[in-house]
């Protein structure tokens, strides 16, 4: 993770936070915590170092007669909200209608990871996924629906344990008519799989 802040400064900030909550960063169980936190940040926030274009390996071979919807449901993800830096997690459902090119199916999950591994709001990550598909794949349309639970609502604040949030971003042929209805029907056919 590249940053204008040094690793040592970041570790010092973690030690300060430990002291702030009333802990002793020098006690045995916490001595290595600053290093562990900084290493985990490199993974959790690794999306800042990834360009969405890096996942768009497309193919013309195989797309010649494909003019129907491609849907991938229940892509699990974890992210962190930018308001409280607490996790939110759930599943993304992604679809597109190819024009001249198709994309490898694993790339959907990689695209979700690029945007999920940043400080986020659910509304933004949903539109970023749909807009990236439109920009880099140039399909007839793209759609993303995300269903997620937010620890900022579960663990603190209103403490509503069973609430979840659904956001959608529909582009091109998904904006209206039968393609929109078909996509929404597809993603409702099966219940959401647990992320854990």
- DSSP states of 76-145 as a string? EEEEEETTT--EEEEEEEEEEE-SS-EE-THHHHHHHHHHHSSEE-HHHHHHHHHHHIIIII--SEEEEE
**Rounded to an integer, what is the distance from CA 46 to the centroid of its chain?**
12
Global pTM reads: 0.87
161 is catalytic: no
Is-same-fold flag (7-44; 52-188)? no
**96 touches 139 (CB < 8 A):** yes
Annotated catalytic residue, options 23, 72, 84, 113:
84
85-88: long-range pairs with CB below 8 Å, 24+:
85/119, 86/150, 86/151, 86/152, 86/155, 86/156, 87/150, 87/151, 88/120, 88/122, 88/148, 88/149, 88/150, 88/151, 88/152
Domain ranges of the chain: 7-44, 52-188
The CA–CA distances, whole Å, from 35 to 46, 49, 108 equal 16, 20, 32
188 is catalytic: no
Question: pLDDT in tens for each of the 196 residues of the chain?
Answer: 567 889 999 999 999 999 999 999 999 999 999 999 999 999 999 999 999 988 887 777 665 666 789 999 999 999 999 999 999 999 999 999 998 888 888 999 999 999 999 999 999 999 999 999 999 999 999 999 999 998 887 766 666 666 789 999 999 999 988 888 999 898 887 665 555 5
144 is catalytic: no
136 is catalytic: no
Neighbours of 137 (CB within 10 A): 19
Annotated catalytic residue, options 93, 122, 128, 144:
122
CATH of region 52-188: 3.30.1130.10
Can you state the angle between helices 106-116 and 122-132, rounded to 10 degrees?
A: 140
Annotated catalytic residue, options 19, 83, 100, 123:
83
CATH of region 7-44: 1.10.286.10
Neighbours of 99 (CB within 10 A): 15
Residues 42, 172: Cα–Cα separation, whole Å: 35
Annotated catalytic residue, options 19, 64, 68, 82:
82
């Amino acid at each position: 993770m590249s940053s204008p802040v040094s690793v040592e400064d970041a570790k010092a900030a973690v030690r300060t936070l430990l002291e702030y909550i009333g802990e002793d960063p020098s006690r045995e169980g916490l001595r290595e915590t600053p290093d562990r936190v900084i290493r985990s940040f490199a993974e959790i926030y690794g999306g800042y170092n990834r360009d969405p274009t890096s996942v768009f390996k497309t193919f013309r071979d195989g797309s010649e007669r494909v003019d129907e919807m491609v849907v991938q449901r229940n892509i699990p993800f974890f992210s962190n909200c930018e308001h409280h830096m607490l996790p939110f997690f759930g599943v993304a459902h992604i679809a597109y209608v190819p024009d001249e090119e198709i994309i490898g199916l694993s790339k959907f999950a990689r695209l979700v990871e690029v945007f999920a591994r940043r400080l986020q709001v659910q509304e933004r990550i949903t539109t970023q996924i749909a807009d990236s598909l439109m920009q880099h794949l140039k399909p007839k349309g793209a759609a993303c629906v995300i269903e997620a639970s937010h620890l900022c609502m579960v663990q603190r604040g209103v403490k509503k344990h069973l609430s979840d949030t659904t956001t959608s971003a529909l582009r091109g042929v998904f904006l209206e008519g039968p393609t929109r209805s078909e996509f929404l029907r597809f993603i409702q056919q099966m219940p959401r799989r647990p992320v854990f």
